Amino acid sequence: MSHKKCYAIFIVVLCVILSSGRAYGDAAMQIDVMIVVENSEEMKKDDPSRLFIVAAKMFVTLLGKNDRAGVISYTDKAEVVNELTNIGNDTNREALFRAVDNITWQAGKYNAVEAIKSAVNVLTKEMDRKTGKAIILLYDTKSNVEEAIEQSSIIESLTVNGIKLFAIAVGGKGHEKPDKQSVKSDDEFYKATGGYRYQTRSATGIYMMFTSVFENLKSPMMMPLEKKQAINIDDSIETITFVIKKSSPASKISLDDPDGVKYLPTNKMDNVSWLVSDLFDTIKINDPAHGMWKINIGYGRENKAYISTSLKLITNIEDSAFGGKEATHHVAGKIFLLEAWFKLDDLPLNLKEMLHNITVKADIVGPDGDKSELSLNARLGTKEGSMNKVLYSDQFTPMKEGCYEVKITATGNGLDRSRPLSLVVQKHGAANAVRDKKKVQDSFSRYARLIYMPIAKKGEMSFKSSVAYFIIINILGLTGLIIYYRKKERTRFSKSYKRQKNR
């Protein structure tokens, strides 16, 4: 066998090792998230009613019992108001609420980089904890945050530690429409970490930005609620959390369960937590009564219903540009596959019912607000891992750079499920250098572990060293294969020669 063939086999084997695995949209992953708030005089002008407080409390309410959250405030200096706290009980949740309440406006220069570094320090104290890690940075658009980030090395620190950075920018240049080009370039910092930059000119939009971050991080199970006055809570639903916008601060929201019992914020029930504000209410109900609920509301377009359920709608995004590895970042002009299926706590489902009586679609909103809809086709799974499943799938090609919001909805026979996905699309060949660097480091680490080579701990090895070691490993592997095949050729030749001699 030629040296070229040996090297080709080596590269193929290496690529298979390093590219295995697919990204599935299951909300089971626990997350640690730091909420970082700029408490400057500029933010006070943007949000005089302190609407960010109820938005942050809503976000904490939406998190799962095994998730953790912390709070940092900053102007010229960063202050850890609350360390990472488990959301699992009312006492911890109330402590986080108080931490947000205690943030006060201060005069001073803005030092977002120091605040992000403080958040990184908190999130990396327990590197053995297997969770997703994220930072939500809330700031005023006039704070020059992106300029400060560009002059620092903080993005590299975030990517090396696997921390996503989400930004919620409030206001604008005099609150006029922000410059598209500047916002576009600003996005690159956040997309490099797997996060995104959201902007709202009014503080009333902060809570919607928080719901978008939550959906991006957790890809939660939902029930379609837009413009609905009633909702069917089926037997598989264990918890439901409503986020309902008010038409005015004086609006009163109430719910009627299937037995006609009225739920109000003034009625204290053991299984209900009700967060009231002038803009929206957040209502979390554990073990809700099963059946048709009536929702007494006047405004429905932005309403949400997040659920915890044993009947899960699972989604998978496989991007041809990255071999199925990247679930949130895609290349414009490349095809990606949308797949969905149901899972009932590992119990079998009625495949005939799933195949013929359930309709699944994907609603897609592009970066410029253009809307499109895909009908996902149903078929029985035939590959290993998808047997005894009904798969719903279709292909989509994003042509423009920016953020695509995708909502997959399944309906039929009293079943309502939806799941949000956020796709950040980049131009072909415009991948961020920091992310590329991390990929090489990760690739080296995986292969080094495979051949039992001791390596430095994450973050201790320089990029140049990792590349050097990676090249050495390639050379050693190639040399080993060449020696092996030469030995094999000699053995074959020796046997052939002996047979000819014996004749």
pLDDT of residue 465: 55
pLDDT of residue 287: 94
Q: Does residue 270 sit in the same domain as residue 393?
A: no
At which of 370, 397, 426 does a domain end?
A: 426
Q: Does residue 157 sit in the same domain as residue 196?
A: yes
pLDDT of residue 228: 73
Phi, psi for 147 (deg, rounded to 5): -65, -40
Q: Does residue 267 sit in the same domain as residue 155?
A: no
Q: Note whether residue 85 is domain-resident.
A: yes
CATH number at residue 181: 3.40.50.410
User: What is the value of pTM for the model shown?
Assistant: 0.74
Please count the other Cβ atoms lying within 10 Å of the Cβ belonging to residue 452: 6
Phi, psi for 310 (deg, rounded to 5): -80, -20
Q: Does residue 209 sit in the same domain as residue 66?
A: yes
Q: Note whether residue 19 is domain-resident.
A: no
Which long-range contacts (C-beta less than 8 Å, at least 24 apart) are formed by 321-326? 323/19, 324/19, 324/21, 324/22, 324/23, 325/19, 325/21, 325/22, 325/23, 326/23
At which of 191, 218, 245 does a domain end?
A: 218
CATH number at residue 288: 2.60.40
Q: Does residue 45 sit in the same domain as residue 78?
A: yes
Q: Note whether residue 13 is domain-resident.
A: no
The tens-digit pLDDT sequence of the chain (503 residues) is: 444 333 333 322 233 222 223 333 444 578 999 999 999 999 999 999 999 999 999 999 999 989 999 999 999 899 999 999 998 888 899 999 999 999 999 888 889 999 999 999 999 998 777 789 999 999 999 888 988 998 898 999 999 999 999 999 998 644 344 433 333 345 678 888 989 899 998 999 999 999 999 999 988 999 988 767 888 998 899 999 999 988 888 888 999 999 999 999 988 788 999 999 999 999 999 999 999 999 887 566 788 999 999 888 888 877 543 333 444 456 788 888 888 988 887 667 777 777 888 999 999 998 888 899 999 999 887 766 556 788 899 998 888 887 888 899 998 877 889 998 887 787 765 444 444 444 444 444 444 334 333 433 334 444 455 556 566 666 766 776 677 666 666 666 555 555 555 55
Phi, psi for 116 (deg, rounded to 5): -65, -40
pLDDT of residue 183: 37
**Domain with 477 in it:** 433-503
Q: Does residue 247 sit in the same domain as residue 345?
A: no
Task: Provide the 3-class DSSP secondary structure of residue 51.
Answer: helix
Q: Does residue 421 sit in the same domain as residue 440?
A: no
At which of 410, 426, 442 does a domain end?
A: 426
Q: Does residue 192 sit in the same domain as residue 259?
A: no
The DSSP call for residue 347 is B
Q: Does residue 48 sit in the same domain as residue 171?
A: yes
Please count the other Cβ atoms lying within 10 Å of the Cβ belonging to residue 448: 18
